[in-house]
Structure 1
Amino acid sequence: MPMDTTITAEPPLPLRAWRALRTRGAGYAWHKALRRTSGRWPSWKRRLIYADPRRYWTLRGGADYFREQEGQVARTLRAEWIAGRLAAYRPTSVLEVGCGYGKLLFALRERIEAPLAGLDFSPTQLGCARGFLDGVDGVDLFLGRGDRLPFADGSFDMVVTSAVILHNPPEVADRIRREVVRVARRFAAHNEEMNLSYNRYGYDTAAWYRAEGRRIAEVGPIPVDADAQTSQFCVVRLDG
């Protein structure tokens, strides 16, 4: 069955807490409480709930996260802007690493007819993606890690990350970029913010590619982002 995309007003906090405990267990409820109450101490927030990004997104992902994100017009504007820029390169196939619940894949499908694939290491995010993209043709979804992509060299014309590499410590971020380069034939494209927070390391992705001797096709802020100064969208040409 397709996922219900209707956005309704959130119930009171005590009811939300009770639902979280009942539907997803004490671990999820505790994780959610820590996220809500530790904002004043970002360094401790990182240590307490973000030491393991895969666990974080497995707990964070799901119906609550889907409703939260779909309720933000800015998220939709960003996905549509990025999809429009990616489509301009006319890729013959696209892999999104860290596809979440499939928002960017959905926007891409509206703009290009090429085969699409999404990979995520969070089972809950991928479960939402299967519902959100139900009935959307030509989209394959895979459970896996960005730093160990289960695909052969040059499997996709374009490989994309959107707010994925920034969630990983430097050594993992480096492996993800190298896997993207390995799996992509012509283009690597990234939406990766540069600011630091409890769950963001922040990277200048374009600078990494320049240091590797790669040619930048375009780089700049995402104009529809609320904080365009820290956002970075870049496309890298890999075939010459």
Structure 2
Amino acid sequence: MRLRLRQFRPRTGPHEYRIVQPRRPLRHTSLSAPEPIGLLLGDHDGLNQLAGLFSFAAYSRHTIVHVPLRDGVPPDEGWGERVDLVLAHDSAGLRASQWPELRRRLTRGTPLTVRTDEARTARDMESWRARRSHADARDELRHATHARTLFLFGTRDLFVEMATAFAYAAGWGPLEKHAANGHMAFMTAFTLAEPPGTGGHPLEVDICFKPYPPYAHFKRPGAPKRPRELRTPVG
């Protein structure tokens, strides 16, 4: 997949960070923070773009991926306050408390185009499936919510798994029975690491497909075409 991004190199003190954003906003995709259940609601384009962004993040250990999602078209379903999304490896050295200052510095970006390798992502996902059942393969997505932003801190394997989940949601969501009527369709969910001793409901984010309105434009793949209105000539 080709991703058109914008790249920034803000500094805080002696540290320089590499931050990328999608060049084009994901207008029909929204995210609410997990309290304890969050919701990521997107159309085909938004979910597909997120699959590519997670794949890019998986293999870019020193790059922070920022996906602005607060200012898109407000969804007519869902719950919670909308937040942005940030993906980072531990090696990027990002702390959630630093983000407001860094975000203010994202003013002069340069265009960047990258390509993701779906075949490599699929191979690494199969390898991760084979290893994650072992006792020593217990990676979990760490998270924080700060400054109206959900931060996901993970490893290559975890971001590859997320890329696969979003690709599944983008590909199969339009086939869901009620999608043509504009209803959101639950596709999958991802769980988040809980702080020790918290207990209670597991933290998770549901991934749902929803076509963008007006829903008359949307047609499920494989569905028959709507017949054109016949017009009787006048005169």
Return the TM-score normalized by structure 2.
0.26
Higher-Rg structure is 2
Q: Of the two structures, which has the highest relative contact order with CA contacts closer than 8 Å and spacing of 6 or more?
A: 2
Q: Could you state the TM-score of these two structures normalised by the residue count of structure 1? A: 0.25
Q: Which structure is higher in helix share? A: 1
